[in-house]
Amino acid sequence: MDRALSVLTQIEAWLPPAPPPIDWTAHAFRWQRRGARGWLDAVHVVAPIHLQDLQHIDRQKAIIERNTLAFLLGKPANNVLMTGARGTGKSSLVRAMLDAHANRGLRLIEIDKSDLGDLGQITELIQGRPERFIVFCDDLSFEEGEASYKALKSALDGSVSSPGDNLLIYATSNRRHLMPEYMHENLQAEHQSDGEIHPGETVEEKISLSERFGLWLSFYPFAQDDYLDIVNHWLQIQGCPAPQIEAARTEALQWALERGSRSGRVARQFARDWAARHV
């Protein structure tokens, strides 16, 4: 018996500790995993971003806010996939939804794509809670053979179990269909005598995941004037007076040129650098 107890003690030392109790007072959570155990880790300090800070994506803002408000009211709502140019406000828009509607019961759960197989556990944890939860996966994309790809397909639409009416999935990606696409896959397409085209099975498989998101929102690179408007907005937030904002125009364009992108992220980074040197 003593030897058996010693062995059990050694095994217990290798096991991960029991997950801590969930702090439901938090507005945001991060799904954590250690070994076979996963838990919701409360995030009490969320990086602030407001809807009015997101410039020149008015259509995308209107659509996702309409969907989120319907979700909060218990009306039918869709899972959302946001794709397009980097730094154009995709993930910021999700955080802005939390900032705008946390007082109405909206909560955010951030999850890594490698943990998407745990969506069933998350659903069980939040079942019966009065809050409404958005499970957010940022920069979602898959390579060939990743297991979490199948798990997400099932969770979105196809599993025999219901995800519950208090959970939606919002995801961002730079790939429209979330997986790499190759030229040789297009060669599998069949061309019928009447002109109808049937995509190959590989293409159908890759498209099937993105199609399970009810809403697709596309984001595009900003025109020069739009980029400068965003720079001006962030310079005002940083407390720069009007003469300094006007003087920053040329350097802001150079900043974007060096980075090869006119995006909201680049504009905010420039505004921080300029304000640090001139305010």
Query: What residues does each domain of the chain span?
Result: 28-219, 224-278
What are 122-179's pLDDT values in tens digits?
Answer: 988 998 899 999 999 988 876 665 666 666 766 666 444 455 689 999 999 876 665 5
**pTM score, whole prediction:** 0.80
Lowest mean pLDDT, pick from 54-58, 60-64, 147-151, 224-228: 147-151
Q: Which residue would you say has higher pLDDT here, 153 or 197? A: 153
Please say whether the beta carbons of 32 and 51 come within 8 A. Answer: no
Which fold, 28-219?
Rossmann fold (3.40.50)
Residue 121 has pLDDT above 70, yes or no: yes
**pLDDT computed for residue 64 by the predictor:** 96
